[in-house]
């Protein structure tokens, strides 16, 4: 299965605007990493490989959401890239639409294993549902 497009949810856009207000360098570095994922030699497919690393970013599947059947991943700052270590890009992979949807840009301090009452987790779930991202079979 391939992934051909990158979509940014309006909530994630708002996150980036808020980050830019307080840390322009971090916002620019996040956008650069996303641009690298979109057009770089590793391509968007790299965002679907658990444990993938390059100079720009590192990829991990978020198992907590996977237990619910959600295909949610996170991107963090890579080895050579500097400036956005305090943030994580959370996204869903929708193979049916060949898309990656950026759901949120969250603080590094956010705990991925939060309960259903956590506001960040709820916001990510809502964005996932709003975009109609296909669920994965539960293992």
* pLDDT for the residue numbered 87: 92
- φ, ψ dihedrals at 36, nearest 5°: -60, -40
Burial 69-108 (b: 16+ CB within 10 A, else e): ebbbbbbbbbeebebbeebbbbbbbbeebebbbbbbbbee
Q: Is the pTM of this model over 0.75?
A: yes
pLDDT in tens, 34-81: 988 888 667 899 999 999 998 888 999 998 898 889 999 999 987 655
Q: Which domains does the chain have, with CATH numbers?
A: 5-130 (3.30.2310.20)
* pLDDT for the residue numbered 77: 86
pLDDT in tens, 102-131: 999 999 888 766 666 788 899 999 999 999
* pLDDT for the residue numbered 12: 97
Measure the CA–CA gap between 9 and 27, rounded to whole angstroms.
Answer: 16
């Amino acid at each position: 299965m391939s992934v051909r497009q990158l979509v940014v949810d309006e909530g994630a856009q708002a996150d980036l605007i808020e980050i830019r207000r307080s840390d322009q360098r971090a916002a620019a570095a996040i956008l650069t990493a996303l641009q690298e994922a979109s057009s770089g030699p590793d391509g968007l497919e790299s965002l679907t490989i658990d444990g993938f690393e390059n100079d720009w970013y590192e990829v991990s599947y978020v198992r907590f959401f996977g237990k619910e059947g959600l295909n949610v991943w996170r991107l963090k700052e890579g080895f050579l890239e500097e400036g956005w270590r305090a943030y994580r890009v959370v996204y869903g992979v929708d193979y049916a639409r060949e898309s990656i949807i950026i759901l949120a840009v969250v603080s590094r301090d956010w705990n991925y294993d939060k309960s259903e009452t956590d506001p960040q987790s709820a916001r990510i779930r809502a964005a996932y549902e709003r975009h109609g991202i296909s669920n994965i079979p539960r293992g």
